[in-house]
Structure 1
Amino acid sequence: MNALELRFVWLLTVLGSDTLRALASNRLWSEDLLNDFVPSGRVSNRLVRSLNNKDDTAVALAKASSASSSSAEVGTKDEKAENVELKAKNPESPKVDLKNLEKEINKKLQKQTELEMQELQKELPAEAHPVGFAHSSVKILRDPVGHPVGFVGEKMMSVATKGKTRFPLIKGGGGHRVMDLSQFLWYVQGLVWALLVVFLVYVVVDYTLWSDFSYWSRRGVPTRSPVLPFFGNSLLKWRRHLFLEPSEFIKQYGTIYGWFEGKVPWLTVADPNALKEILIKDFDSFTDRQTFPTMKPYIRLMMSDLTGGDWKKVRSLVSPVFTSGKLKAMTPLVVKCAERLRENIKIAMRESESSVIEVKPIFSIYTSSVIASCGFGLDTVLKVDDPFIVHGRAMFVNPLQTSILSVLPLAFPRVVARFLPHAFPFESLQFFIDVGKQVVENRKEERVKENYNSRKDFMDLLLDAQEKDDSGLLTDECVVAQVILFLLAGMDTTSNLLVMLVHELASHPDIQEKLFAQTKEKIREHDGDIGYEMVHNFPMLENVINETQRLWPATGSVARRCTQSKQLSNGIQISQGTTIQIPIYHLQRNPEFWDDPNEFHPDRFQNNTERNPVSFMPFGLGPRNCVGSRFAQLESRLAAVHLISKFKFSVSEGATTRVEFSKGNTQLHPLGVRVRVELRQ
């Protein structure tokens, strides 16, 4: 930053707060400001109010000056103020010669300024003399109407000269000069033009030298258009349903095409053979996921953000947490939350006169309760306004997502990570970090006691894994990071699945009744015990949930990064650092794999063992699939059984079966799904 920019930053610091506050409120006058123009005496608050109420400014100023000049005759300060007020009320006050008044005020101001400058000269060292633009005399500044105005406030003066003068000064070597408003505006205008020129030069250099938007065409790969500087193909992403986009472009460019997210080359791959190579056969060349630069260490420690050897080690430590035996032990905690879910549905029915309820908030409480209990070890009854719910919901609300600002992370990812922390809800993240740290500390204190009774929850299992870790990777911070990832990966995805499950059952009453009959039979077979064994030996329930996930996957696409250059069997060369987009939503509705792909037919999963593995992967595919997929299935199935056995869902009168989804990201977030609920006898 050069000297010119440093001066401008200093001026904004000194002048910004008071000036902008006054301009925003259109109240440029203050008692201190009037005293700048009438230095020999104080003015009344009534006069200040009259000026701010847009009375004749010049006349009021003249009356104030006249009042101050007669201070010797009036006597006390109270008498002076009273004299000013009486003269302001007197309709027969003599006319004021404004020209003479201005000259008189200028003389007083100049004399006072010279005296104050002399005092300041004595206090400041030689290398800290106030300097500025050449302006030999102090003049009254006027607004466009002609009224005398000022933009200097008490706070600004104290910053500039420790209260010794009422005019803005810049420290440096030189003489004593005062900057007026016109010079300040000229200064700002010059800087704006300079910044604009620098920005345009940067755009040209970035587009011509630093960006390679011919990357894919030179490799013979079809490329989306148009491609724009900085933003690539993603300028209007906040206005679109991103999970639908790949299907549109696959029709136009084929099953493999290139595009740019910002300046980064991406390759969309929907070819089944190429996907098997990327996800399974040649996984060692595509081990990493897409990550976003962040300054927060807890995010970097999440398994989803770890890369290379660190990911492999942490994955090997965490995977045993989700074995069948561990999930069975954790099932009672989930069942308890599912029973509360059933009660919350009843409460919502009582509060709704028509028994039509919005289901997403209720399902969010359920998934949050499961995570609080199984992840954080908090056995508490959560309500909609509970901090755990509020902060959990905030974690999925990105303020940049639905505005034009959503393209900033694409063009300037590191700048956004450094200077726009609110692109991610770090306040809510910090809440869960604090909770997680406290739980780890408390749990470690309990575990050393002889009579400790393990909850067999996610936290206990991670601490068990930590004790067996000889690499030092699974630190307390890493444990907390995995619990928070458990929240991020499981809260919204499972609640969205339950929303769409209820929606499909309400829209297909014949399938719902068949599932209800089989649910009653299964409950009788297990003597009323709704647990792990029951929900994992229930083929129709599994088929219904699978079909819901096929139509409405948690995310429309997933990404993998090429960690070492690789040539696919079709001849396409993928360079290290390239990001691969895998369009799950498109693949799971591809007519090449599925008959009537847009219809809800759970029976299609009956004995469907011959399907292509890339045609259905709601939890991903290959070594880097979702580590918690089995827990998510347990959680959703237990909730479904508790719902189907007690309630009947139907489409509310006049409602449409079409579901609206949020825009701006690849995840599927249903909006405002409402259904009619009846209690089964």
Structure 2
Amino acid sequence: MALPIPADSEPVKAPLVTQPLGFFGSLRAARTNLLGILPELAVRQPMVSGKTGVRWHMVMDPKALRRILLEKVEDYPKSVVTKNLLRPAIGDSLFVAEGQHWRWQRRAAAPAFSPRNIANLAPVMTAAAEAAAERIAQAGPRAVDVYAEMVRTTFDVISDTTLSGEKRFDRKAMHRAIDNYIDIAGRVSVFDLMGLPGWVPRPGRIVSGNAVARMKQVADDAIRDRRETQAHTPPDLLDLLIAGEDPETQRRMRTPEIRDNLLTFIVAGHETTALTLGWALYLCAFAPDIQSDVAEEAKAVLGTRAATAADIPNLPRTREIVDEALRLYPPAGLLSRTALAEDELGGRQIRPGDTVMVPIYALHRNRLLWDRPDAFDPARFREGVPVDRYAYLPFGDGPRICIGAGFALQEAVIILATLLARFRFRPVAGRTPKPVMIITLRPEGGVWLTAEPI
């Protein structure tokens, strides 16, 4: 049964904390939903500080964020907790590495994500969008978990753009391993909150060792097979990583480095885009008038075909939906850094060892920075409307801005426009998704919608 949505209501949001949680309360919240540690003050103030085992600061002030992410980036490396959570799975890849080891990898990998190479991969995205539309159509009038559909769609994209449909690549096994790792090992432990070093064993991460081993074995096999065959035309991301070279040192990635970065792209490259699309479709169903406006644009541009990279400049309303979904439900809802040096942020003293958090979820809803911050209003991203660069950080910023941002945005617009041109999505009574963050901000319970052909 379709659920009518009041015109003045707001889309679902996570409840924020109004009372101090204490050490064990924070641990419980962090293990079940990281958004549960965010104080309500974080959407009303530029900074919030406290102590839970270690001193911490939540920063929502754009000037301070510019300092952390751009001006003093070397003094604010990824936090110990972040590294402890992710290093077992993705090693010292681009997402985790620091300093010179990060810099040479970034330079070697950058050509793989050039606008030309991303555009060359667009036909894979178009084919995946077409396949998703066909599956939704075949499901008929019944409710569909569109988030699950988007997970399948974006995993097909990342599989074919990283491995070009490698026959020996077991997609289901890899997907199960990724989910297993996030569910078991991607949760903050009491040791993390106490600030204990990464070499102290975390029970959940010991249990998840088999999942990590399976992920790495699949990637190693794919790299070995690719080295024994010719590169594809156009080259996929694995070809480009193998061929990549740091122009300053002429250093190339060895198999372990290629594998860790390949796993990073596979894990992050499909999960984050699937989340963006799942939440975007929920928002479109939530606001039928906005959905109609965007659908008209998509139908006028596409007719009955799937979108391509060439269509993106003609789909500004679709891009606005993607941008607003990334604001309300940023896949990386919380970034964490560990201060290495004395500093001052927003008038507060920062000491070496302090945890400095960038709660993207709260930043994107901060009342000092956004008008009606909890409302769904994609027009706020319309051309000519000013947006403070450091008030909107779905991909981070500075030298460590997400290397795959262009890839993700191209994919999201292609898939979303294709679906909105063909279906009218409506919410389902009693199936409102719940924003829950473990490593990424997922819709707990899925995004259940009915899809009526237009």
1:387 to 1:304, Cα distance in 2 relative to 1, 3 A: same
Query: In the alignment, residue 396 of structure 2 is paired with which amino acid?
Result: G
Give yes or no for the alignment of 1:661 onto 2:435.
yes
How far off its partner does 1:250 sit?
A: 3.4
Matching residue of 1:42:
none
Give yes or no for the alignment of 1:614 onto 2:397.
no
Matching residue of 1:274:
64
Give yes or no for the alignment of 1:356 onto 2:143.
yes
1:577 alignment partner, one of 331, 353, 378: 353
Matching residue of 2:302:
523
TM-score, scaled relative to structure 2: 0.85
Give yes or no for the alignment of 1:388 onto 2:174.
yes
Is contact 1:356–1:676 with CA below 8 Å preserved after alignment? yes
Matching residue of 2:121:
330
SS in 2 for 1:676: strand
How far off its partner does 1:412 sit?
A: 7.2
How far off its partner does 1:422 sit?
A: 3.5
CA distance in structure 1 between the partners assigned to 2:136 and 2:126 by the alignment: 15
Q: Deviations over 1:277-307 (max 9, x none)?
A: 2222333322445533479676332211101
1:549 to 1:429, Cα distance in 2 relative to 1, 3 A: same
Give yes or no for the alignment of 1:552 onto 2:329.
yes
CA distance in structure 2 between the partners assigned to 1:344 and 1:530 by the alignment: 17
Task: Tell which deviates more after alignment, 632-641 or 421-430.
Answer: 421-430
Matching residue of 2:40:
248
How does 1:132-151 map onto structure 2 within 5 Å? none
Structure 2 stretches lacking a partner, 5+ long:
1-18
How far off its partner does 1:246 sit?
A: 3.0
SS in 1 for 2:34: coil
Is contact 1:416–1:423 with CA below 8 Å preserved after alignment? no
How does 1:50-65 map onto structure 2 within 5 Å? none
Matching residue of 1:441:
224
1:597 alignment partner, one of 361, 367, 373: 373
Matching residue of 1:678:
452
CA distance in structure 2 between the partners assigned to 1:584 and 1:505 by the alignment: 22
Query: In the alignment, residue 243 of structure 1 is paired with which amino acid?
Result: L
CA distance in structure 1 between the partners assigned to 2:397 and 2:250 by the alignment: 27
2:109 alignment partner, one of 311, 318, 330: 318
1:415 to 1:542, Cα distance in 2 relative to 1, 3 A: closer
Query: In the alignment, residue 642 of structure 1 is paired with which amino acid?
Result: T
1:649 to 1:479, Cα distance in 2 relative to 1, 3 A: same
1:676 to 1:577, Cα distance in 2 relative to 1, 3 A: same
How does 1:302-313 map onto structure 2 within 5 Å? 302-313=93-104
How far off its partner does 1:495 sit?
A: 1.3
Is contact 1:268–1:583 with CA below 8 Å preserved after alignment? yes
CA distance in structure 2 between the partners assigned to 1:295 and 1:528 by the alignment: 40
Give yes or no for the alignment of 1:458 onto 2:237.
yes
1:629 alignment partner, one of 401, 405, 408: 405
How far off its partner does 1:676 sit?
A: 0.9
1:648 alignment partner, one of 424, 429, 432: 424
2:320 alignment partner, one of 536, 540, 543: 543
Q: Deviations over 1:36-67 (max 9, x none)?
A: xxxxxxxxxxxxxxxxxxxxxxxxxxxxxxxx
SS in 1 for 2:395: coil
Give yes or no for the alignment of 1:283 onto 2:62.
no
Q: Deviations over 1:191-245 (max 9, x none)?
A: xxxxxxxxxxxxxxxxxxxxxxxxxxxxxxxxx95755xx6x7333247643254
Query: In the alignment, residue 576 of structure 1 is paired with which amino acid?
Result: P
Matching residue of 1:475:
254
Is contact 1:376–1:483 with CA below 8 Å preserved after alignment? no
2:285 alignment partner, one of 506, 516, 525: 506
CA distance in structure 2 between the partners assigned to 1:361 and 1:298 by the alignment: 23
Q: Deviations over 1:486-511 (max 9, x none)?
A: 12212222212111111111111111
Matching residue of 1:486:
265
CA distance in structure 1 between the partners assigned to 2:377 and 2:316 by the alignment: 14
CA distance in structure 1 between the partners assigned to 2:228 and 2:247 by the alignment: 18
Is contact 2:333–2:441 with CA below 8 Å preserved after alignment? yes
Is contact 2:107–2:245 with CA below 8 Å preserved after alignment? no
CA distance in structure 2 between the partners assigned to 1:337 and 1:498 by the alignment: 13
Is contact 1:556–1:668 with CA below 8 Å preserved after alignment? no
How far off its partner does 1:545 sit?
A: 1.0
Query: In the alignment, residue 396 of structure 1 is paired with which amino acid?
Result: I
TM-score, scaled relative to structure 1: 0.58
Aligned length: 435
SS in 1 for 2:449: strand
CA distance in structure 1 between the partners assigned to 2:440 and 2:219 by the alignment: 28
1:436 to 1:226, Cα distance in 2 relative to 1, 3 A: closer
CA distance in structure 1 between the partners assigned to 2:96 and 2:323 by the alignment: 28
How does 1:52-201 map onto structure 2 within 5 Å? none
Q: Deviations over 1:461-506 (max 9, x none)?
A: 1111048684646211101111100122122222121111111111
How far off its partner does 1:423 sit?
A: 5.7
SS in 1 for 2:403: coil
Query: In the alignment, residue 27 of structure 2 is paired with which amino acid?
Result: L
SS in 1 for 2:50: strand
CA distance in structure 2 between the partners assigned to 1:556 and 1:648 by the alignment: 29
Q: Which has the larger radius of gyration?
A: 1
How far off its partner does 1:432 sit?
A: 2.4
Query: In the alignment, residue 326 of structure 1 is paired with which amino acid?
Result: N
Matching residue of 1:299:
90
